[in-house]
Amino acid sequence: MEVNFDPSFTLKEFFEKNTENFESVLLSEAVNVKEKIEEILRIGNIDLVNNAHKLVVYVINHEDNELKSFAKQEGIAWATHAIELTFKLEWVQAIRRTLWIFIQKYNDHIGQYNSAKFFHLEQEINNRVDAFLNTFFINYSTYKDALIKAQRELVEHLSVPIIPIDQSICIVPLIGSMDANRMSILKEKVLTEVSNLRIETIIMDLSGIAYMEYEEIYELDKIIDGMSMMGCSTVLTGLRKDVVKQVSDSGIRFSPETRKLGTLQQALTEFYNPAE
């Protein structure tokens, strides 16, 4: 491979004058990633080739703050678009190898690095590439965890919907299994909304619940008592036969003030009449 060289070139100038050569060698080193370059650009607007040049400039110019900032930006971008991490690792390692190929060619022409200088340069450059990777992965992981947490909170919020039908009445339709986590979410959301909205009646529809363990029945009873202490009455609707048997076998008795109706429609007919 022929390279552009002038004895007056600094290392940075040598790389700048050999941009196309650098890209060609880099793509030959990154066997798996080069087929994904256009896809990654399309998915996340991440220009791998241009970013490789940025990384090299930051490394050889000792621009450590810019390097860390760039790594943070890259980590967040890859986490946001859920791009496979193996591609990033292969790409950066290909950049590292290509960087050394060109440093060797630069030294072949200028011959300025003796053994001591070369080992010092090797330590500096590899430490910066490693620092880039470390910062990238830390920020990728941190941002990915934040995204997962936000998504989990959204799912949890949607798993316990509270639907107001007027200023004093809300419906809480429950569907699926009720485990300790969902009961905790139910307690927090219901008590918070009763306090904030001054809800007088909550219609809790259990027609979508097929089974409840003793612990969940006990927690439901505590939630109903808590709402009662805040001046909110509870109406239970849609209790299935198996759930009724489980409640009966548990020995737990809901407060006599808690109304039980067969269907949600019955509760709406009795408690909500907008024509009045």
Tokens of 103: 């440093």
The answer to whether the beta carbons of residues 220 and 212 sit under 8 Å apart is yes
Q: How far is CA 162 from the centre of its chain?
A: 25
The answer to whether the beta carbons of residues 254 and 224 sit under 8 Å apart is yes
The fraction of the chain above a pLDDT of 70, given in percent, is: 94
Overall average pLDDT of the 266-273 stretch: 82
Greatest Cα pair distance, the chain, in angstroms, is 95
Instruction: Give the Cα separation of 59 and 64 in Å (integer).
Output: 8
Overall average pLDDT of the 177-186 stretch: 87
153 pLDDT higher than 90: no
pLDDT in the model for residue 221: 95
Query: Amino acid identity of 44?
Result: G
pLDDT tens digits, 229-245: 999 999 999 999 999 99
Task: Indicate the average pLDDT of the chain.
Answer: 89
pLDDT tens digits, 114-148: 778 888 888 999 999 999 999 999 999 999 998 88
**Which run of H or of E encompasses 12?**
helix 11-17
pLDDT tens digits, 55-79: 999 999 999 999 999 999 999 999 9
3 pLDDT higher than 80: no
- Angle among Cα 107, 108, 110 to the nearest 5 degrees reads 60
Overall average pLDDT of the 181-189 stretch: 89
Q: Of residues 242 and 113, which shows the higher confidence score?
A: 242
Q: Which residues pair with 261 in a beta bridge?
A: 237
Q: Name the DSSP class of 160.
A: S
pLDDT tens digits, 79-108: 999 899 999 999 999 999 999 999 988 888
Q: Give the list of residues 6+ apart from residue 210 with CB closer than 8 angstroms, or none.
A: 177, 240, 242, 243
- CA-CA distances (angstroms) from residue 110 to 5, 101, 118? 9, 15, 13
Instruction: Give the Cα separation of 153 and 149 in Å (integer).
Output: 6
User: For residue 45, what pLDDT band results from cuts at 50, 70 and 90?
Assistant: very high
